[in-house]
A and B are shown apart, each in its own frame.
Chain A
């Protein structure tokens, strides 16, 4: 093997990520699933890393969820996106970072479409002007938030208070990474590592001390697939995909899963409960499930944030065995205390999936 040659080839799979000055837009659904993730992204980047990450309360959904559910046409989505870009332009930023993988895919698809069909871009500009008297510049750089955490992963590792090391054995924690389909499967050149060797999450795990575990269905969809879930008649297909992934990863002793897509994280976490209720099977040790984390949550754990401030009590699968494994300190009694330390009530426990 010629090492320099390999390095040269690998360069083709990288993307340029500016180190600072980002215009941040949140996901429309993430805050309902894992409410602290996006807040912690701003805390980590602005306060801990001292970066300029700006957000405005005036932004809306990107329209991607409705587009992929076949509920609205692409031209409508383009006008929504044009307004988002107008807000970025008005704020004086050129680097655009959405928190949702589908948003990221949506923005990439639209920018590529405008590149191929400039007349369409002109029409959207006209529509935006007629609708809300706004104008926009296209972003100079577009990245997903996981790209930024990947870009700053070594800075996070330097500030780490906890490493992804099994406290008892001293071995790296065995982790699977799952990348959302809309990240690089549609436009491989826009993701780190492309669609063939996506490295965005694997890089984080390795930098923070863990071990990335491969398994046959690693690149399989989580099952969400928009219409598969949103139409109840198709929901069995949705959970069957997730089941296929978990059956595939079962022999490899995976202790946690890291995801970068709102839907993937939600469904790989919640469907473990449904699978356990329907088949009686659980995939973690001693009747527990395999915890599924967002990259902000994992970064937060590594940086020493309180797990309940990271919103880990809202995961279906109990995270406590994983926290014990890597040596994160937490107060079990504080699990269901909200931000104002008031009781947020306890959920009903599942029949087959062990939870606290």
Chain B
């Protein structure tokens, strides 16, 4: 292969027909509140760990809906619960995260 000094980037296209959303469905069955998340990002905006660890609950839920692996982000959560205080939908986000950790275990 000729080296041009640059190469094709991997496509960021999401094929939702092929995405495995089993984990998200399981989360929703245990924590139905996951379905009412509107991805506003208030949780991520208030997250103390976010600037240092890349943790974002909004991205976690979006990643699960897209069938992506979100485990590395979960490890950044300190379970402080600030996100649950700001959620406009009143989701118990701390509990939701703990449930998700249990599913992964």
| Contact in complex: B2, A279 (CB < 8 Å) | no
| Contact in complex: B2, A277 (CB < 8 Å) | yes
Q: Is A274 interfacial (CB-CB < 8 Å)?
A: yes
- Which residue of the partner chain A has the closest CB to B11? A244
How many residue pairs between the two chains, A and B, have CB atoms under 8 Å in the bound complex?
32
Which of A230-238, A258-266, A328-336 is near enough to bind chain B? A230-238
Q: How many residues of A contact B (CB 8 A)?
A: 15
- Which residue of the partner chain A has the closest CB to B10? A240
| Contact in complex: A277, B1 (CB < 8 Å) | yes
Produce 1/0 per residue, B27-63, CB < 8 A to A.
0000000000000000000000000000000000000
CB-defined contacts of A240 to chain B, threshold 8 Å: 8-9, 11
Produce 1/0 per residue, B4-20, CB < 8 A to A.
11111101010000000
Residue in A232, A233, A243 whose beta carbon sits within 8 Å of that of B8 in the complex: A243
- Which residue of the partner chain B has the closest CB to A240? B9
A236→B7 CA distance, assembly (Å): 5
| Contact in complex: A239, B2 (CB < 8 Å) | no
CB-defined contacts of B4 to chain A, threshold 8 Å: 235, 274, 277-278
Which of the listed residues A240, A243, A275, A351 has the most CB atoms from chain B within 10 Å of its own CB?
Answer: A240
Which of the listed residues B1, B2, B6, B11 has the most CB atoms from chain A within 10 Å of its own CB?
Answer: B6
**B41 → chain A closest CB, angstroms:** 26
Binding site secondary structure of chain B: loop
Binding site secondary structure of chain A: helix
**B77 → chain A closest CB, angstroms:** 32
A215→B13 CA distance, assembly (Å): 16
**A351 in contact with B2 given A240-B11, A244-B11 (CB within 8 Å):** yes
| Contact in complex: A239, B8 (CB < 8 Å) | yes
| Contact in complex: B2, A235 (CB < 8 Å) | no
A27→B6 CA distance, assembly (Å): 28
- Which residue of the partner chain B has the closest CB to A277? B2
CB-defined contacts of A239 to chain B, threshold 8 Å: 6-8
| Contact in complex: A236, B2 (CB < 8 Å) | no
| Contact in complex: B9, A278 (CB < 8 Å) | no
**B4 → chain A closest CB, angstroms:** 6
A233→B7 CA distance, assembly (Å): 10
Residue in B1, B9, B11, B13 whose beta carbon sits within 8 Å of that of A236 in the complex: B9
**A34 → chain B closest CB, angstroms:** 22
A97→B4 CA distance, assembly (Å): 37
**A135 → chain B closest CB, angstroms:** 46
| Contact in complex: A237, B7 (CB < 8 Å) | no
- Which residue of the partner chain B has the closest CB to A242? B8
A244→B7 CA distance, assembly (Å): 13
| Contact in complex: B6, A232 (CB < 8 Å) | yes
CB-defined contacts of B9 to chain A, threshold 8 Å: 236-237, 240
- Which residue of the partner chain B has the closest CB to A241? B9
Which of the listed residues B4, B7, B8, B9 has the most CB atoms from chain A within 10 Å of its own CB?
Answer: B8
5 nearest interchain CB pairs?
A235-B6, A236-B6, A240-B9, A277-B2, A240-B8
Show 12 A/B contacts (Cβ-Cβ < 8 Å), sorted by A.
A232-B6, A235-B4, A235-B5, A235-B6, A236-B7, A237-B9, A239-B6, A277-B1, A277-B4, A278-B1, A278-B2, A279-B8
User: 14 extra interchain contacts, Cβ-Cβ under 8 A, other than A239-B6, A275-B8, A277-B1?
Assistant: A232-B5, A233-B6, A236-B8, A236-B9, A239-B7, A240-B8, A243-B8, A244-B11, A278-B1, A278-B2, A278-B4, A278-B8, A279-B8, A351-B2
